[in-house]
Amino acid sequence: MDLFQWITIGVVVIMIIVFLLIPNHTPFQCPKCGQTFVPKKAQLLGIHSYGSHMLKCPHCGKTSMMPPAGRE
Ligand SMILES: [Zn+2]
């Protein structure tokens, strides 16, 4: 591989590391019990669509599609 390919791979790797290091601050509200919680970033990499994420509620233990809290 030439130098340009190594630089491209390096930039992509750095972007992924930076993305993973920034913690998630977006709270989500459980539709089952109404509690809000801030899930870990790794949890947000799972199933999601239209801004809602498949998350497990730490309060009641139910797993369901949850929209970010504060957005109706
Ligand atoms: Zn809940």
Per-residue pLDDT for 23 more than 90? no
Question: Sign of torsion, CA 15 16 17 18?
Answer: positive
Q: Has residue 71 been placed in a domain?
A: no
Per-residue pLDDT at 36: 92
Residue 19 has pLDDT above 80, yes or no: yes
Ligand 1 centroid–CA 20 distance in Å is 26
Residue 72 belongs to some domain of the structure? no
Extract the runs of DSSP E, i.e. beta strands, from the chain: 28-29, 36-37, 48-49, 52-56, 63-66
Mean pLDDT of 49-59: 91
Q: Is the pLDDT of residue 52 over 70?
A: yes
Q: How far is the CA of 62 from the centre of ligand 1 (A)?
A: 6
Domain that residue 13 falls in: 3-66
Per-residue pLDDT band at 72 (split at 50, 70, 90): very low
Number of domains comprising the chain: 1
Q: What is the Å distance from ligand 1's center to 31 Cα? A: 7
- Give the phi and the psi of residue 17 in degrees, each rounded to 5: -65, -45
Query: Is residue 59 situated within a structural domain?
Result: yes
% of the chain exceeding 90 in pLDDT: 57
